Amino acid sequence: MAAEDIDGFEDSITVESAAERIKSMDIRGAGRIARAVVKAIRNGIIAGDFNSRGELHKQVIEWARVLYNTRPTAVSLANALRYVIMSMDDIFASNDDIGEIKKCLVDKCNEFIERSYMAIKTIGEYGAHRLRDGMSVLTHCNSTSAISVILTAIRMGKNLRVYATESRPRHQGYITARTLAENNVDVTLIIDSAVRATMRDVDIVIVGADTITANGAVINKIGTSQVALCAHEARVPVIVAAETYKFSPETLFGYLIEIEERSADEVIDPKKLPGVKIRNPAFDATPPEYIDAIVTEVGIIPPSAAYDIIVTYYGRARPMNELLQ
Ligand code: RUB
């Protein structure tokens, strides 16, 4: 898939539009959200008229605050905003000219976006080596990185059969199934509760991630932990495809990941079930014991190496609540 086809939103997206569309889930998926916020801030910087570093700084922090509050769980959103803010601080340390500062910051944003597309491609290549010709693969929800692994293996000439779960309540599995079918992959849609019954026909599970914690737990679409549990029971390996910006530095400082609780309407019209409480958590945590490997753009690692990834790539990171003050 070409880089520009991955996202499905315009390159010229504004901060207001990105915030609105991430909230409504028109733009969704952890990597896509990260690229949307960086593109939006980059476009705001290009269009903005700033007379001083102070003005630019205030505006970028204001945009970051609006974007940060759109969805709580995917750390890619926080890491993308942290990258922009910390790049701005670095540029301020060595530059006084506002025109130059703007240019350097736009370059930094473009670098993040390019690296993100490259990461998905590299993850596809590394992950594809784990897939053998004739394998049956099961995936949950809709992950660009997991799909990259599957499509790269197919392009290498391997025949694969893929099971895609519906992923209730928002049915992101339809997007996965459609994308795979459009690429001539043999794909079968199953309901979420058919995972255990289907697992006997599955050789490997591949999912994406919204957040990976310092202890190697993977936060992904609700139901991922059940998929992993069934795979564990059936001794089917579980592979997670995740760029390094899905690893959470905040978890090193003791913060817990907030699991997004979405509206009951997504599950059923509550009026149809008077007196019934409805819960709709959007994500869950899969413990590291149920994960065989995490495919990142810097290599395939065991979940126990999550700590090293965080220290290596986010050793300097400051918590978001400090950065957004
Ligand atoms: C999407 C989801 C995806 C991850 C990874 O949830 O759980 O598996 O975000 O996706 P939602 P990607 O639809 O609620 O955003 O690999 O594309 O970053």
Distance CA 325, CA 320 (A): 9
Measuring from atom 7 of ligand 1, which residue has the nearest CA?
A: 221
Residue by residue, DSSP assigns 85-121 as: HHHHHHHHHH---HHHHHHHHHHHHHHHHHHHHHHHH
User: Could you list the mean pLDDT of each consecutive 10-residue stretch along the chain, which spans 325 residues?
Assistant: 74 97 98 98 97 97 98 96 97 95 98 98 98 98 98 98 98 98 98 98 98 98 98 98 98 94 97 98 98 98 98 92 91
CA distance 123 to 107: 24
| Residue pLDDT, tens place only, 77-119 | 999 999 999 999 999 999 999 999 999 999 999 999 999 999 9
Q: Is there a catalytic annotation at residue 210? A: yes
> What is the pairing mode between strands 238-241 and 204-207?
parallel
Q: How far is the CA of 50 from the centre of ligand 1 (A)?
A: 35
Residue entry with tokens 């959200």: 33
Give, for ligand 1, the residue of 7, 142, 295 to mutate: max count of ligand atoms closer than 8 Å to Cβ. Answer: 142
- pLDDT at position 162, please? 98
pTM here? 0.96
> What six digits make up the tokens of 25?
């889930």
Task: Give the model's pLDDT for residue 116.
Answer: 98
pLDDT value of position 316: 87
Mutation pick for ligand 1 pocket among 138, 220, 248 (CB with most ligand atoms within 8 Å): 220
Query: 230 an active-site residue?
Result: no
Residues in the ligand 1 pocket, defined by CB under 6 Å: 28-32, 74, 141-145, 172, 208-210, 220-221, 282
Instruction: Considering the candidates 7, 210, 284, 292, report the single residue annotated as catalytic.
Output: 210
